[in-house]
Amino acid sequence: MHPMPAPAAGAAPVIVTRPAADAQHWVRELRQAGLAAEALPLIDIAAALDTGALARAWQTLDRYAACMFVSGNAVAYFFKSPLASGLPPTLRLMAPGPGTVAALLAAGVSAAQVDAPAADAGQFDSEALWAVVGQRDWQGKRVLVLRGESPDAAGGAASSGRDWIARKWKSAGAQVDFVGVYQRRAPQLSEQQLQRARAASVDRSVWLFSSSEALANLLGQPALAGVDWRGARAVATHPRIVDAVRAAGWGVVVASRPALTDIRDTLASIESLYP
User: Can you tell me the distance from the alpha carbon of 121 to that of 105, in angstroms, rounded to the nearest whole number?
Assistant: 19
Instruction: Give the residue from 145, 153, 159 showing the smallest Cα distance to 64.
Output: 145
Express each pLDDT in 31-65 by its tens digit: 998 889 999 999 999 999 888 999 999 999 999 99
Domain boundary among 185, 201, 236: 185
Strand 44-47 relative to strand 175-185: parallel, antiparallel, unpaired?
A: antiparallel
Determine if residue 140 is left, alpha or beta; phi over 0 gives left, psi from -120 to 50 gives alpha, anything else beta: left
Which of 45-49, 80-84, 220-224: highest mean pLDDT? 220-224
Residue 255 β-bridge partners: 236
Average pLDDT on 102-118 reads 96
What confidence score (pLDDT) does residue 261 get? 84
User: Can you tell me the distance from the alpha carbon of 211 to that of 51, in angstroms, rounded to the nearest whole number?
Assistant: 25
Which segments of the chain are extended strands (E)?
Answer: 13-16, 36-39, 44-47, 66-69, 92-94, 114-115, 142-149, 175-185, 206-209, 233-236, 252-255
Same domain for 130 and 87: yes
CATH of residue 237's domain is 3.40.50.10090
Average pLDDT on 142-164 reads 70
How many folded domains does the chain comprise?
2
Domain holding 262, by residue range, is 13-43+188-273
The phi, psi pair for 237, rounded to 5°, reads -100, 15
User: Can you tell me the distance from the alpha carbon of 218 to that of 197, in angstroms, rounded to the nearest whole number?
Assistant: 9
User: Edge-to-edge, what's the strand order for the sheet holding 206-209?
Assistant: 36-39, 13-16, 206-209, 233-236, 252-255
What confidence score (pLDDT) does residue 137 get? 98
Same domain for 51 and 174: yes
Residue 24 maps to a domain: yes
Report which DSSP code applies to 11. Answer: P
Provide the pLDDT confidence category of residue 274 given band limits of 50, 70 and 90.
Answer: low
Q: Output 199 or 160, whichever has higher pLDDT.
A: 199
Q: Encode burial over 176-194: b for 16+ CB neighbours within 10 A, e otherwise.
A: bbbbbbbbbbbbebeeebb
pLDDT exceeds cutoff 50 at 141? yes
What confidence score (pLDDT) does residue 206 get? 96
Same domain for 261 and 180: no
Average pLDDT on 119-137 reads 92
Same domain for 179 and 53: yes
What confidence score (pLDDT) does residue 273 get? 65
State the chain's maximal CA–CA distance in angstroms. Answer: 59
Same domain for 199 and 166: no
* Proportion of the chain above pLDDT 90, given as a percent: 73
Q: Encode burial over 45-80: b for 16+ CB neighbours within 10 A, e otherwise.
A: beebeeeeebeebbeebeebbbbbbbbbbbbbbbbe
Q: What is the mean pLDDT of the chain?
A: 90
Q: Output 200 or 155, whichever has higher pLDDT.
A: 200
Residue length, the chain?
275
Same domain for 151 and 66: yes
Same domain for 173 and 95: yes
Strand 92-94 relative to strand 233-236: parallel, antiparallel, unpaired?
A: unpaired
Residue 6 maps to a domain: no
User: Can you tell me the distance from the alpha carbon of 230 to that of 84, in angstroms, rounded to the nearest whole number?
Assistant: 48
Same domain for 38 and 121: no
